[in-house]
């Protein structure tokens, strides 16, 4: 088994939606890299709700998968007022529309998705701390039949 770190991973954002929710649609977009990312947090994935049914005539509980949520991601960045990606974060934070997200790992591939950029707190810390901010992305489905998450594995 090969062990992978997050070294070399790039986070990109676009205010535009792809024409199609597949590899070609997302690759046609222009993504702006968000600089100074130090922690990507949890990568989006389907998280299903548990549905339980306890009929009084039975002792055991029946369980099933219910609806799903694509989750959220909290990303730590070192504050850079000259970084175009961080400026786009501010623009998308003030928008009610989701943006397109690209998470590119050099060995594990690329994940594309749609997310609301919720902003996040800034932390200037002390004299020995880098000024950071926590950016929260809330991943959202496109419609009833498309969640919009595309995983492209390396060739």
Give the mean pLDDT of the chain. 96
The percentage of residues in the chain with a pLDDT greater than 90, rounded to a whole number, is 95
- How high is the pLDDT of residue 115? 97
**Interval 28-70: pLDDT, tens:** 999 999 999 999 999 988 999 999 999 999 999 999 999 999 9
Segment 5-36, tens digit of pLDDT: 999 999 999 999 999 999 999 999 999 999 99
What would be the CATH architecture of the domain defined by 10-43+71-152?
Beta Barrel (2.40)
CB 12 within 8 A of CB 112: no
Q: What is the pTM of this model?
A: 0.91
Task: Tell whether the model's pLDDT for residue 102 goes beyond 90.
Answer: yes
pLDDT at 155 over 80: no
* SS3 readout for the chain: CCCCCCCCCEEEEECCCCCCCCHHHHHCCCCEECCCEEECCCCCCCEEEEEEECCCCCCCCEEEEEEEECCEEEEEEECCCCCHHHHHHHHHHCCCCCEEEEEEECCCEEEEEEEEEEECCEECCCCCCCCEEEEEEEECCCECCECCCEEECCC
């Amino acid at each position: 088994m090969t062990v992978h770190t997050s070294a070399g991973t790039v986070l990109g954002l676009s205010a535009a939606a792809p024409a199609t929710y597949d590899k070609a649609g997302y690759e046609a977009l222009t993504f702006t890299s968000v600089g100074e990312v130090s922690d990507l947090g949890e990568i989006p994935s389907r998280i299903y709700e548990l549905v339980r049914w306890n009929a009084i005539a039975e002792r055991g509980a029946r369980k099933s998968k219910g609806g799903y949520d694509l989750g959220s991601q909290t990303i730590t960045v070192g504050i850079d007022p000259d970084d175009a990606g961080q400026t786009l974060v501010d623009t998308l934070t003030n928008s009610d529309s989701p943006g397109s997200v690209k998470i590119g790992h050099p060995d594990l591939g690329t994940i594309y998705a749609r997310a609301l950029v919720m902003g996040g707190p800034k932390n200037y810390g002390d004299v020995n701390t880098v000024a950071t901010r926590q950016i929260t992305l809330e991943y959202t489905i496109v419609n009833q039949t498309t969640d919009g998450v595309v995983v492209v594995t390396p060739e």
